[in-house]
Amino acid sequence: MQMITAEEKLKERIKELTCLYEVTSIIVNCDYDQVEDALKGILHCLQKAWLFSDAAQVKLISDQYNIVTPDFPDDPVCLESNVMVFNKKVGEIHVAYPRPKYSEDDFLKEEEKLLSNVCLEVGNLLERKQIKDNEIIIKRKMERADRLGILGEITAGIAHELNTPLANILGFAELLKTRITQDTQASKDVDKIINSAIFSREVVKKLMFFACEMPQQMSLVNIGPIIANAVNLMEPSFKKKKIVHKLNISAEPILLRVDTIQLTQVIFNLVLNAIYFSPVKGEIKIDVKETESMVEITITDEGPGIDRKIRDKIFEPFYSTKPVGEGSGLGLSVVHGIVKSHKGTIKYRSNKPKGTIFTVDFPKN
């Protein structure tokens, strides 16, 4: 490294202090949704602060960001420092010169301190952003909980009010059906009334479950036959779309404490969803596996998959991608509620190259 004069040292200190001032100004004025732009500005400030500023290049690598100045050398000699967030390393900042023109001796001790201070400031910025992001998430969860609480009260009232007239409609329609002896248009119209009333009754049942109006009947049972029966009941739906379905389950008893009706509802909703979105002549697999602590049920289809834009919404009540009249938007919401009430989890992932895999885990204890 070449010797530098006292005057040049003074200039370097001024550059370093200017860098710290500019970095602080960027951070103070940073909007939390523009952190990446702020980090780019900080890297630019670092470039100007180095002894050989024309040759200096900077990069920041972290869990969330990867920012590199345009001419970062392929064979660099680097000075680097860690970025810490809540005492955990989340990334590094590297300041580099190109070899062989420069070596480690070309870095000043003061530059090492400067880089450490800048990394400390960047870590503080990322900490504040993380706190802000967590506050937003908590606020959204609280708002959603409030909405769901209000929605639960409303739906409970609606369900109770609809139950009696629906029972009357269905009862009188079935009575009317017995009095129509010929296969006439009137008979077909009554069938439509009956089918619509049955569909509406199922929606009311889902509303009542969503509003926590249907108590659970928990018992220790072998879930194998329950799942097999639920799948067998959907045979007409499989045949309608010529779908091949495979149920893989142990012949040995799989004991689990569940509400059998609600377990059937989980299987029904997930498999019917898979059938709806599967192509004609597709394949659906239902796998049931047991470990020491869990029972895992996976349902795999070959449909179009779940659009990235709606992945956060699929378990929300009344949200549906099906055409009006083909779904209540309660299926996955009810499934999510049932699984959660059993202390279980439900998640999904892509079934490459096409389709979706839903996984439900029920704890055995």
Res 147: pLDDT: 58
What are the pLDDT digits (tens) for 69-119?
988 998 889 999 999 999 899 999 999 999 888 888 888 888 889 999 999
Res 148: pLDDT: 55
> Amino acid identity, residue 254?
I
Res 324: pLDDT: 46
Res 159: pLDDT: 64
What are the pLDDT digits (tens) for 302-311?
888 776 776 6
pLDDT less than 50: residues of the chain: 324-325, 327-329
At the top level of CATH, the class of 143-210 is mainly alpha
What are the sequence ranges of the domains in the chain?
Answer: 6-137, 143-210, 218-363
Structural fold of domain 6-137: Beta-Lactamase (3.30.450)
CATH superfamily of 218-363: Histidine kinase-like ATPase, C-terminal domain (3.30.565.10)
Which residues have C-beta within 8 Å of that of residue 292, sequence separation ≥ 6?
364
Model-level pTM? 0.47
